[in-house]
Chains A and B, each alone.
Chain A
Amino acid sequence: MKTNTFSPLALLSRFSVLIILLGIGVIFALGSEDFLAPNNLLNIALQTSIIAIVAVGMTFTILTAGIDLSVGSIMALCGALAAGLAVKSGLGTFGGISLALIAGMLLGAINGLLIVRGGMPPFVATLAMMAVARGLTLVYTNGRPIAGIDEAFIFLGNGKVLGIPVPIIIMIVIAVIAGIVLRYTRFGLHVYATGGNEETTRLAGISPGKIKMAVYIISGFTAALGGILLTARLWSAQPNAATGWELDAIAAPVLGGTSLFGGVGNVGGTVAGAFIIGILSNGLNLMGISSYYQQVIKGIVFILAVILDLFTKRKK
């Protein structure tokens, strides 16, 4: 009996993200002298960090064969809440941010409840949340930006520790924690199991419902964190912030090899996927391609990534 763990194809598909990443990098490096400048690379990492954080949370939901379309709106709402509570309600930066993170988890919990208890398809429940959270953001901000956040808050988005921008550090921390959870904990294994085969998971005495609740709470949390960092970076909370970011947040894990049908994927891939998107937009920017046109490219890349994923899986 043969037990071949590795096949060339599996190896290739395992590192395909990195290969794509490298390929894009080479193309842009050849196309623009500025691309490989240290400042630009740091800039890419900074721009990528927030989307990577949100995409890490999204990875959990997709691993259970779910999806969270509400992350963009949750980012906006929680970013606004953090700023508003800190500035307008006088809770201070720490209080505002803490409450905003809790709010993100609550919104995630509502998503989870609608899906697990209400039996709604994940994309419907989170689509509804997408609209509701956006509406609440407009209600809370009255449609106007909230400015006036203090130095400490701004530091989160624009400060540096040991020369490394804070959002990048936070991204690394989040990715490492998520990686450890998925790789070394019971919960992590159960996330994969739920996405792999819900019935078998149930028969093993695990409650897939609880696992799903948890992943939507995680996604709510990372979205809230992403929204707070975005607010910090922009010095203010914009009611229309992060519109359409759910696409990037979904594209990153899918580009990183996470299957939309659940059970397959890892955080490393997601971060690499986020960097593909980051490099893509940075390179396109440097090449002077309009942000409108970039949207078109992003949409096409997104669909192609999914088709590629389905194609390699069907080969198997």
Chain B
Amino acid sequence: MKIDFKTLSQKYGLVIVFLMLCLGLGLLTDRFLTVSNMVNVLRQSTINGIIAIGMTYVILTAGIDLSVGSILALTGVVTASLLQSEGVSVPLAIVAGLTLGALLGLVNGVIITQFKVPPFVTTLGMMTIARGLALTFTEGRPITGLPDGFRTIGTGSLGSIPMPIFIALIAFLLGYIVLNHTTLGEYIFALGNNPVAARYAGINTNVYIIFVYIVAGILAALAGMILIARLNSAQPTAGLAYEFDAIAAVVVGGTSFSGGEGSLWGTLLGVLVIAVLNNGLNLLNVSSFYQPVVTGVVIALALLFYKLLRR
């Protein structure tokens, strides 16, 4: 088998960057390379990780979803209010929340495919709409006090694995299998790679574009549930700028904005890089206000790096 240097540096370049980052932080502060801190990093990265899976799907079709943060907030407050209602069981509330996420994604997908509105415009609109709905629904106030059964998904653990990490792993595995081992995934890659050829090959491209926005919506809702379970409170202002972190993870992971190229492994590494960076800044007592600045610079660097690599 021929070894492709570019693919290799694309794949392992990121691993090396990640390891060097960890090593550097380990040298800078002894609090970094501890088991508890590592688990902490993983737990902090679960929410962004889950959202980033959906974002990877969307970006693979050459789209974008700016509304995930707002969808997270809206589904979070709706789920929380259902949980507090009489006669609504925890599973039912969860299913309802996930369904709402799917619906919002469906609306995105339909506007994009049927009216040909560019994805960033559609989802920018949805970002405002969903946020407005979340605020309207709660009148701007958080909903606090959730049943213990529900809170397990944010605070419980399975054996020694914290529940959020477990859920994120499941989501990742499912996402990975669908993307790489099913007809759905094959079609997503194909239509991102060449939408015209996909149509000529008999693929109903609109259906699959709608599908990826639904996936992004469901995963945003799932991330929202973990968040509210952990905080024991659903904030209508939750998830602000989460789309940015998710896009950053996908970009750092090497998925191309022109679609059809990328992988969930890359996204996973991207999520970890960003989580470690933020954790490192924390441990080094750098104000958290710097986080978006650092992430923004990392995005720019990653894009330029991949641009050079793809030459």
Contact = CB atoms under 8 A, between A and B. Distances in A.
Interface string B113-128: 0011110111011111
Interface residues of B, number: 44
A260 B124 CA distance: 14
A112 B295 CA distance: 19
B296 A131 contact: yes
B128 A135 contact: no
B131 A118 contact: no
Most chain B CB inside 10 Å of its own CB: which residue of A120, A130, A131, A246:
A131
Contacts of B111: 303, 307
Task: Give the secondary structure class of A's interface.
Answer: helix
Nearest to A139: B289
B120 A123 contact: yes
Interface string B275-311: 0000000000001011111011101100110010000
Interface string B243-271: 01001100100000100000000000000
A299 B115 contact: no
A306 B117 contact: yes
Nearest to B131: A295
- How many residues of A sit at the interface, in one of the four size bands? 35 or more
Interface in A125-139: 125, 127-132, 134-136, 138-139
Contact of A307 (B115, B241, B247, B251): B115
A84 to B, nearest CB: 14
Contacts of B303: 118, 120, 124
Contacts of A123: 64, 120
Contacts, number: 122
A154 B206 CA distance: 53
A299 B136 contact: no
A305 B241 CA distance: 25
Contact of B299 (A128, A297, A310): A128
B291 A296 contact: no
Interface of B: 64, 66, 111, 115-118, 120-122, 124-133, 135-136, 139-140, 241, 244, 247-248, 251, 257, 287, 289-293, 295-297, 299-300, 303-304, 307
25 contacts: A114-B300, A118-B307, A119-B307, A120-B257, A123-B120, A124-B64, A124-B251, A124-B257, A127-B244, A128-B244, A129-B296, A132-B292, A134-B241, A134-B292, A135-B293, A247-B125, A292-B135, A292-B136, A292-B140, A295-B129, A300-B125, A302-B124, A303-B122, A307-B111, A310-B115
Given A128-B296, A260-B118, 8 more contacts: A124-B64, A128-B300, A131-B296, A244-B128, A292-B140, A293-B132, A303-B121, A307-B111
The 4 closest A-B pairs by CB, nearest first: A295-B132, A299-B129, A132-B296, A292-B135
